[in-house]
Amino acid sequence: MPKSSSNADNYALHSVKPYKPKKGEEYMNAAQKEHFKELLLSWRRGLMEEVDRTMSHLKDEAANFPDPADRASQEEEFSLELRTRDRERKLIKKIDSTLELIENDDYGYCHACGVEIGIRRLEARPTATLCVDCKTLDEIKEKQVGG
């Protein structure tokens, strides 16, 4: 069975050392953009490796068990893996759109209010598009609407 996606996520995010801003450094300068681009590409690579592992696993482990319980267990396992890969597919799309933001010099700024998202927040969530305040408001509104 392939490693869990959280292992791939952790590896990718920890294989790139956190960015240490220098005093007086301009926000989202070339070095910072390059750092986050490297971080996102590393994360994406890790996710793509998981996709390849899953495909190999599904091909190698696929068997037609005579026992219905064994067959059901295998189908459930495959279903879980495929659901995880689907979430990761969506994450890969989000990473790609974030890389596009870096290329267009729009990365690191809140899409709602325009303020800097902040290096520490971006280190924790490189695909963030909202600052902490706007994200908090967004979550409160979601709770109110969703119940």
pTM reported for the whole predicted model: 0.80
Q: Look up the CATH architecture of domain 5-146.
A: Up-down Bundle (1.20)
Query: How far apart, in Å, are the Cα atoms of 92 and each of 38, 49, 96?
Result: 14, 12, 6
> How much is the pLDDT for 77?
85
> How much is the pLDDT for 115?
97
Confidence category of residue 51, pLDDT binned at 50, 70, 90:
confident
CB-CB contact of 51 with 88 (8 Å) = yes
Confidence category of residue 3, pLDDT binned at 50, 70, 90:
very low
> How much is the pLDDT for 82?
87
Question: What is the pLDDT of the chain when averaged over all its residues?
Answer: 87
Asked whether residue 134 carries a pLDDT value surpassing 70, the answer given is yes
Asked whether residue 7 carries a pLDDT value surpassing 50, the answer given is no
Q: Which residues contact 58 (CB under 8 A, 6 or more apart)?
A: 78, 81
